[in-house]
Chains A and B, each alone.
Chain A
Amino acid sequence: MLDSEKTIKLLFAGPLGSGKTTAIRAISDTPPVSSEVPWTDAGSSEKTSTTVALDYSTIQLNPDETLHVYGLPGQDYLDFMGPIVGPGALGAVLLLDASSQTLAQDCRTVVEQLARIDPSLKFVIGISKSDITPSFSMETMYALARRMSLYVPMFCIDPRDPAQVRQLVRALLYLL
C-alpha cells in the first residue's frame, strides 16, 4: 500500500460513463490498470465496458518522482474507496457527461464525494460529450455552480484528447 503522505496523487472523479478511464489513459505514461467489465446497461452507447473499482496509472515527473493517477469509481456502492485512496491528493479532476439526464445531480453527488475525501480539496470540472449533445447549455452549469458556490474552472473537453485533459490539469495547478 502506498503511503499517502509521500505519494503525489491526482484524482479523477465522476459518474459512470463520464470518461474517467479515457482521460487517464490520455495523459498517462502507462495504460491504466482498470477493473473493467462488460457494461450491460450500455444500451445503444458505444461504450461497452465500465470500471467496477478504480483506475490506476502513473505519470513519470522525473527519474525520481512519479505522479500517481487514480480514477475513483463512479458507482455509489464503491463510495467508500474515495476516503481510502484520496487523502493527500494534489487535487481532482471532476468529469461530467453532458448527455446525462441527471447532469446537475451527478455534479452535486461527485462534489459531495470529493468533500468527504477532503473538504479543502481543490478540483476542476471537465464536461465531456458536449459536442454531441445539441441541447447542452453551459448556462445551466454556471447557474448550478452559483447555487453550489463553486468558483472553479469548468471546461468542455474531449477526454480522448490528451491536450484537453492536460488543459484541465493545468487549470487545477493554477488553483493550488
Chain B
Amino acid sequence: MHIKLGTAGLSDELALRLSLACGLLAASQIHVDIQDWRGNESDILIVDIDSGHGRLAYEVAARRNLPVMVFPRSGDSETSYPSKLDRDAPAAAIARALQEKLQPSSEPTSDDVQGLLGICIREAGCHQDLLVKRGSIALILRHAAGRIITRSVSDVPAAETRLLENAWLCVVRPANDPYANEWLVSRSLESFLINACARHRASLPSLGGKLYRLTRWPDLGSVTENEEALRLSALLQRSAWSADALAQHTGIAAHHINAFFWATLASGALACADGSTVTFAAPPAAASTASSLIQRVARHFGLKLGYSHA
C-alpha cells in the first residue's frame, strides 16, 4: 500500500516524529511518501492547528473532503476534529493512529460481543490468572494456558448459558486467594468456548466474508457432540476461508460456522487472513482401496462418508 501524505504547518520536531512513525508503518506494508502540502494530490493530510499554514490547509482540506488528521492547539481538548493526533505522543503511537486511519482494523474486537466471550477476546493470550464472576458463577480464566477452572462442575454449563450476558466482572486473581483450595474443576477453554458459542449461535454477530484460518488445531477433546467442529478445523487448518464460503462448500449452516469462528477467535486459534485467497488443498491422491478402507473405518467412528477428507 502506497500512501501520499501531505503535511502542513508542522514544527521540525513534530515532522521528525511523524517521519519516524511513517517509517514504522513499513512493517505493515504501508509505504508513505511525505510531502509538504501545497494543494497537491494527497491521500491524507496532517496539519498542526497551532500554525497559520496548518489552519489554512485544514480549511481547504475540509472543503475538498480530503481525509485530514489534526494536531490540535496545545491544551485544547474541547474543539472537535474528525481525527486528532496527540502532539505529545511517541512515534509508535502516531504510527498506530495513522494505521487505524489508513487501514481500519478488520479484526473483530471485544466491542463486537458482550459478556464472557468479549472478555475472552479482550484477554487473548493473557498469562495472568483472571477471576471472572457473574452473580454466583465464578471461574478462573487462564487464557494463555487454554484452561478455565471453576469450583463446581455445574458452574461450567452455567457459564455457558450466560456467555453473552453483561455484568461479568473480570479482575486479576488475588495473590492471596481465600478460595485457593476450592478451584477443583479444570476444563479446556477451547472446548468450553466452542460448546458455549454453539449454544448462542443465533445471537452472535456475523463474521461474514472475511477470511480466517486456524493457526493450530483447536482442542476438541470434549467437543464430542459437535462433528462439524472437526470438519471445520480440518479445512481451516489447510487454508483460509470465510464463513460464507465454508457454508457453501460444506453445507453446514452458516450460523454454526459463525459460532465456531467466534469461539476459536476468542481462544486465539483462529486468525484473520487478510490478503490470502481461499484455496482448497485437495488431499493427496490415495489408492482407491486405501481411501475406501479409511471411509469404512471413519464410518465405524461416526464420521459420515467423505468426511474424512473434508
Contacts and interface: CB of A to CB of B under 8 A. Distances in A.
Contacts of B183: 134
Contacts of A126: 221
B185 interface: yes
Given A153-B217, A167-B223, A131 B185 contact: yes
A171 B216 contact: no
Contacts, number: 111
A174 B183 CA distance: 36
Contact of A171 (B146, B186, B188, B217): B217
A171 B221 CA distance: 10
Contacts of B92: none
Interface string A147-173: 000011111111001011011111101
Interface stretch (B65-73, B107-115, B301-309): B301-309
Interface residues of B, number: 43
Q: From DSSP, what is the main secondary structure of chain B's interface residues? A: mixed
A175 B190 CA distance: 21
Contact of A154 (B219, B230, B286, B309): B219
B142 interface: yes
Contacts of A8: 293, 297
Contact of B221 (A59, A67, A139, A164): A164
A35 interface: no
Contact of A137 (B146, B190, B217, B286): B146
B142 A156 contact: no
Nearest to A145: B216
Interface of A: 8, 59, 61-62, 65, 67, 90, 126-127, 130-134, 136-139, 142, 145, 151-158, 161, 163-164, 166-171, 173-174, 176
Interface of B: 142, 144-147, 149, 183, 185-188, 190-191, 216-217, 219-225, 227, 230-231, 233-234, 237, 286, 293-294, 296-303, 307-310
